[in-house]
Structure 1
Amino acid sequence: MVLGKEIRLNRILKNGKMLCIPLDHGISSGPLPGIKNISELIRKTQTAGLTCILLNKGIIKTLPEPPQIGVIAHMSAATSLGPDPNNKILMGSVKEAIRLGADAVSLHINIGSKEEPKMLYKLGLVSDECNEWNIPLVAMMYPRGENIKNPHDPSIVAHTARVGAEAGADIVKTVYTGDIDSFRGVIQSCPVPIVIAGGPKTHNDAETLEMCADAMKAGAIGVTFGRNIFQHKNPNEIIKALYSIIFEKNYNERGKSAEFKNARISKKKS
């Protein structure tokens, strides 16, 4: 028997893998270059190889037409202008996400922040609601806050990812540790699939693609890259290149460099 959660997961994944653009930056950072017109960005990129997009609930309501790919409704936020940007508060509910037609729900949790207990409490509540309504939960688990000295420390990343799984997430999004072997340890210690965050804009395309290749080699199921896609000079081409890595395993045995069959991406700074 196929359950509702499996049907919805199938809408945000392809063959169990994910290529997503998170577009929730408008609340935290404002209308950044690349997302000033989100609906136009979605229209231009949704057929380039993406499996889903991640949007704040208000943006879902303003879309001029239904997206052709999966939609994840992001339900937590904080602004860079507020007293504590690391304190992500709940801004919606699972029922609201379902009413909006979303295929999944996501929350951002900062482990190591002084507000961590409140965020974990909300994660637990939303996880229970997701189970009740058979809708997938994507937990963005970041090592970020006053108690985190090195957010890429493999033991800290592993702990952070494990918290998301233990709290009930179906997919955990977290940071890449920087090398295949250490990130493989993170993957192996997390009982649910992991996708990696893109982080700040990389210096060039090679960095973006090699990070993706390394993470896939370690066992990740995909990526959720924001700025490195929507601020790229040619978003469709970088999406196609990422697609070739994630879905066609188009990287060498070491996972340290990618060779692309269908896309030529400049290695110059974009």
Structure 2
Amino acid sequence: MVHGKDIRLHRILKNGKMLCIPLDHGISSGPIEGIKNINGLIEQTQDSGLTCFLINKGIIKALHFPPKIGIIAHMSAATSLGPDPNNKILMGSVREAIRLGADGVSLHINIGSKEEPNMLYKLGLVADECNEWNIPLIAMMYPRGENIKNPHERSVVAHAARIGAEAGADIVKTVYTGDIDSFKEVVKSCPVPIVIAGGPKTNSDAEILEMCSDAMKAGAIGVTFGRNVFQHKRPNEIIKALHSIIFEKDSNDQQSKKSRRKSKR
């Protein structure tokens, strides 16, 4: 028997894998380069191999057209102008996400922040709502805050990811540790699928593609890359390259080598 959550997961994944652009930066950072014309970006990239977009509820309402791919409604935020950018507050509900036509919801949790207890409390509540309404929950579990010395340390990343799974997330998004072996341990210790964040803008295509390839080899089911896609000079091309790595196993090494050659030109 197929349940509602299965149907919605099918809309945001392809063959159990994810290639997503998170476009929730408008609240945290403002209308930065790449997302100033967010409707145009979504229309331009939706046929390039993405499985879904991650956007805030107001952007879903402001869309000029129904996207062809899945939509994840992001439900927590803070601004770079506020007193504590690490304190992500709840800005929506699961019912509202469903009314807007979203296929999943996401929350951002900063583990190690002084506001961690409040964020975890909200994560638990939203996880219960998602179970009630059969909608997938993507938990962004970032080691970030006053108590985090090295946000890429294996045990810290593994702890953050495990918290997301234990709290009820269906998919955990977290940072990449920096090497395949250590990230394998993160994946093994997390009982739900993991996707990785792209982090700050990288210096080359080769760098971002290599991180994607290594994460997939370590057992991740995909990536959610923001700035490294929407601020790219040719977003469609980098999406297609990522798609090859994630969905076409035999082309991984060939694609990485090809991208490295291009980046050196």
- The TM-score bracket by the shorter chain reads over 0.9
Q: Deviations over 1:142-193 (max 9, x none)?
A: 0000000000000000000000000000000000000000000000000000
Q: 1:44 and 2:40 equivalent?
A: no
Instruction: Please say if residues 241 and 265 of structure 1, whose CA atoms lie closer than 8 Å, have aligned partners that are also in contact.
Output: no
Instruction: Please say if residues 17 and 247 of structure 1, whose CA atoms lie closer than 8 Å, have aligned partners that are also in contact.
Output: yes
Q: Deviations over 1:213-246 (max 9, x none)?
A: 0000000000000000000000000000000000
Instruction: Please say if residues 206 and 260 of structure 2, whose CA atoms lie closer than 8 Å, have aligned partners that are also in contact.
Output: no
Instruction: Please say if residues 237 and 265 of structure 1, whose CA atoms lie closer than 8 Å, have aligned partners that are also in contact.
Output: no
Secondary structure at 1:19 match in 2: strand
Instruction: Quote the residue 1:267 is aligned against.
Output: 263
Instruction: Please say if residues 20 and 51 of structure 1, whose CA atoms lie closer than 8 Å, have aligned partners that are also in contact.
Output: yes
Instruction: Quote the residue 1:169 is aligned against.
Output: 169
Instruction: Please say if residues 13 and 51 of structure 1, whose CA atoms lie closer than 8 Å, have aligned partners that are also in contact.
Output: yes
Instruction: Quote the residue 1:150 is aligned against.
Output: 150
**AA aligned opposite 1:81:** L
**AA aligned opposite 2:262:** S
Instruction: Please say if residues 123 and 167 of structure 1, whose CA atoms lie closer than 8 Å, have aligned partners that are also in contact.
Output: yes
CA distance in 1, matches of 2:201, 2:151: 17
Instruction: Quote the residue 1:82 is aligned against.
Output: 82
Taking structure 2 as the reference length, the TM-score comes to 0.97
Q: Deviations over 1:31-78 (max 9, x none)?
A: 010000100000000000000000000000000000000000000000
Instruction: Quote the residue 1:241 is aligned against.
Output: 241
Change (3 A) 1:234 1:165: same
CA distance in 1, matches of 2:74, 2:42: 16
Change (3 A) 1:109 1:209: same
Instruction: Quote the residue 2:253 is aligned against.
Output: 252
Deviation at 1:265?
A: 7.9
Change (3 A) 1:62 1:189: same
Deviation at 1:258?
A: 1.4
CA distance in 1, matches of 2:264, 2:71: 32
**AA aligned opposite 1:252:** D
Secondary structure at 2:252 match in 1: coil
Give the gaps of 5 or more residues in structure 2: none
Instruction: Please say if residues 21 and 226 of structure 1, whose CA atoms lie closer than 8 Å, have aligned partners that are also in contact.
Output: yes
Give the gaps of 5 or more residues in structure 1: none
Secondary structure at 1:61 match in 2: helix
Deviation at 1:252?
A: 3.1
* Count of residues in correspondence between the two structures: 264
Deviation at 1:266?
A: 3.1
Instruction: Please say if residues 108 and 141 of structure 2, whose CA atoms lie closer than 8 Å, have aligned partners that are also in contact.
Output: yes
CA distance in 2, matches of 1:149, 1:90: 26
Change (3 A) 1:268 1:252: closer
CA distance in 2, matches of 1:10, 1:91: 26
Instruction: Please say if residues 205 and 260 of structure 2, whose CA atoms lie closer than 8 Å, have aligned partners that are also in contact.
Output: no
Q: How does 1:2-81 map to 2 (within 5 A)?
A: 2-81=2-81
Greater share of helix: 2
Q: 1:193 and 2:189 equivalent?
A: no
Report the RMSD for the aligned CA atoms in angstroms.
1.5
Change (3 A) 1:177 1:92: same
Secondary structure at 1:110 match in 2: strand
CA distance in 1, matches of 2:165, 2:253: 30
